[in-house]
Structure 1
Amino acid sequence: MVRFSVIAALTLAGIASAQDQPAKPDAEKPAQPAPAQPATPEAPKEAPAGPSFFSGEYAELLSEGHTFVEGPCWVPTKEGGFFLFCDRVKDGGKTLRWSGEGKPEDWRVPSGSAIGTAVDSQGRIYQAETQGRRITRTALQPDGKPGLTEIIADKYQSSKLNATNDLVVKKDGAVYFTDPTFFTAKEDLQMDFCGIFRAGADGKVTLLDNSVKAPNGLCFSPDESLLYVNEYSLNKVMVFDVKSDGTIENGRTFIDFGKPTPQARGRADGIRCDADGNVYTTGPLGIVVLSPKGERVGALHVMGANNLAFGGKDGKTLLITAGNKVYTIKATHKGAGF
């Protein structure tokens, strides 16, 4: 079993000043996600005292030998539930399922090279497919297997989406998703910006923001009054106010990690909130925990971590994807929505 140490807390960092909203971002293609670095146990063994967000000292290796894992998500069912996560293998990728016991098994193959997964209140599975550059919805059959898959969004106005990356479903059923340009050739792009979009229950796709250069992971605060969006290229977390009509405003920097270094690799990629409003994001050395005020209050050292999800019957199991490996660890706080 491969293990990685937990850093109980890191030094505090204030909230950075609000970001100016440019009228139109340049069309420069953001940096592509770099291959995850091999996970190593090289991390400080001690850190300033602070609250613990992880019940164990180490994260446990669940599986390895994948191609490029991403998009973890917990799917609740009458029987309890299971995790899904994506592996961007050749020939269309696949989505795997893990029930909490044994090893992950194939669930949806191929999966359109999906790298983002979410679930709605009806148990339907939404995925951001990079191959088709679209958002799909897959019905969940009584036996837990995938049913019919339908396209929810693949265009904005008359233009094909860039490369849908991550998504989250609001309580009202609207799907919020990010659309950077990763994995899509420059000559195939039909839009000159990256966007944060909303696909409503009526099927309408609305552009919410195009000021973020490379929008990636996103999640809501527990009360859905805030939308957190990771900016991959600039390595920072943005936060927006969510208006009553579902649009967003007042985009500002929540925390800026700065340029990754050999000693602190890791970027703002996947992101989740716990039930108390703390923010868990990938970043330097693995997972960084931020208070609702943007203070660094904890961390979990897993080099190569690119996404995470809360799950389990109590909402306190974290599934972490990292390059070609998947890890689990128990959290002391349950995830938002549990």
Structure 2
Amino acid sequence: MRTAFILAATLTVSACATTQQNTQLEDALETTGSIEIINQQALSYLAEDAKISIRGKGYRWTEGPVWIAEQNYLLFSDIPNNTVIKYQPNQGTSVYLAQSGASGLYEGDYGQGANGLLLNDEGQLVLLQQGDRRVAIMDAPLTSPKSEFITLASHYQEKRLNSPNDAVYHSDGSLYFTDPPYGLNAGMDDQRKEIDYQGIYRLSSDGEVSLLDESVNFPNGIALSLDETTLYVAVSDDAHPRWLAYDLNADGSIENKRMFYNAKALIGVEGEQGLPDGMVVHSSGNIFASGPGGVWLFSPKGEVLAKIRTGRLTANCTLSADEQTLFITAHDTLLSVPLL
């Protein structure tokens, strides 16, 4: 998320100190924020009195949560600290992987760690690495993490990507991802920026990178509808925050770009801090999407059903395997909300 660069310079809590603190927080169940029900349909998924619990805090900027169902834990990124953090229910948090996204692959690259995290069909950890400016697989089992990676995508037409941010897998094995400039030291003005635009891309199962849309300023979170006919993209544009939708064709191309939800009217409104960012699709087809004020619950048609008001800038979210818990990465914290 774009705001991370403003915040990263002001917070310097070490990961080791955070681990001890977060284990204590697990028992304390500190809470924050509130639930706003906008449409009664939301009550099928979210109670109005649901508590937003703090599961960890003291990070610099949290992002990219992914639930590891087989081992029953969550992984999430602390981007400026270049680490991936592990959260285990009833045990708290610990450092899972150091040098998660800035491994020194190229001399002079920025020190930003991994952003988005996800699993491929083989259960391997895939990382959107801001510092290394690539999409990569961790070359180690989940149970024995190492800062060793295999590159999946790092260039388009022989030019280095900006800083891959978020991604989603299609059932055919292709990967859709966004490539804003947030991982570059000077953002849009960085002299190391090789691609003029900020693309939305498709990485095919045979390794080919194709450009889908080069017209979106600051594409960020990305998700697929349950039937894989619609691609959703969050746009973290300060001047025009919004969510877009595209029709997804059988050949992997996109068309019929349209507004899913326009958040421009919320610019500068008290309590609506933050921009559209990461999202996750529920088995109902509804979408939990981080944005101004916290996490929004959308219907597939773009109707706002509820808002989970976190009280802080909010970057991303994901669901546990049983969909009974929504995990939220918000500024320097990891939050959770029980679902129905």
Unaligned runs of 5+ residues in structure 2 are: 12-30, 102-112
Paired with 2:37 and 2:136, the residues of 1 have a C-alpha distance of 44
1:265 matched to 2:273 = yes
Deviation at 1:44, TM superposition (A): 8.4
| TM-score for both structures, normalised by structure 2 | 0.81
Unaligned runs of 5+ residues in structure 1 are: 1-29, 333-338
Contact residue 99 and residue 147 of structure 2 kept, 8 A: no
1:223–1:315 distance in 2 versus 1, CA, 3 Å: same
Percent identity of the aligned residues?
28
Paired with 1:205 and 1:69, the residues of 2 have a C-alpha distance of 28
Which amino acid is 1:311 matched to? Answer: S
Deviation at 1:99, TM superposition (A): 2.7
Aligned partner of residue 205 in structure 2, secondary structure: coil
1:50-95 deviation per Cα after TM superposition (whole angstroms, max 9, x unaligned): 5323245211000001111101011232xx43211000234xx011
What count of residue pairs does the alignment treat as equivalent? 298
Name the residue aligned to 1:129: 129
1:283 matched to 2:291 = yes
Paired with 1:124 and 1:48, the residues of 2 have a C-alpha distance of 38
Aligned partner of residue 162 in structure 2, secondary structure: coil
Contact residue 94 and residue 109 of structure 1 kept, 8 A: yes
Deviation at 1:143, TM superposition (A): 3.2
Which amino acid is 1:248 matched to? Answer: I
1:199–1:261 distance in 2 versus 1, CA, 3 Å: same
1:105 matched to 2:79 = no
1:246-295 deviation per Cα after TM superposition (whole angstroms, max 9, x unaligned): 12111111001112423321210111111111111112221111111111
314-323 or 134-143: bigger deviation: 134-143
Which structure 2 residues correspond to residues 75-224 of structure 1 after superposition, within 5 A? 75-77=68-70, 80-90=71-81, 93-112=82-101, 113-139=113-139, 141=141, 143=143, 145-146=145-146, 148-184=148-184, 185=186, 186=189, 187-224=191-228
Match of 1:316 among 308, 320, 324: 324
Name the residue aligned to 1:22: none
1:32–1:266 distance in 2 versus 1, CA, 3 Å: closer
Paired with 2:36 and 2:149, the residues of 1 have a C-alpha distance of 47
Aligned partner of residue 221 in structure 2, secondary structure: strand
145-154 or 158-167: bigger deviation: 145-154
Which amino acid is 2:79 matched to? Answer: R
1:250–1:320 distance in 2 versus 1, CA, 3 Å: same
1:83–1:260 distance in 2 versus 1, CA, 3 Å: farther
Aligned partner of residue 51 in structure 1, secondary structure: helix
Aligned partner of residue 92 in structure 2, secondary structure: coil
Name the residue aligned to 2:42: 51
Aligned partner of residue 259 in structure 2, secondary structure: strand
More helix by percentage: 2
| TM-score for both structures, normalised by structure 1 | 0.81
RMSD between superposed Cα atoms in Å? 2.6
Match of 1:256 among 244, 252, 262: 262
Name the residue aligned to 2:109: none
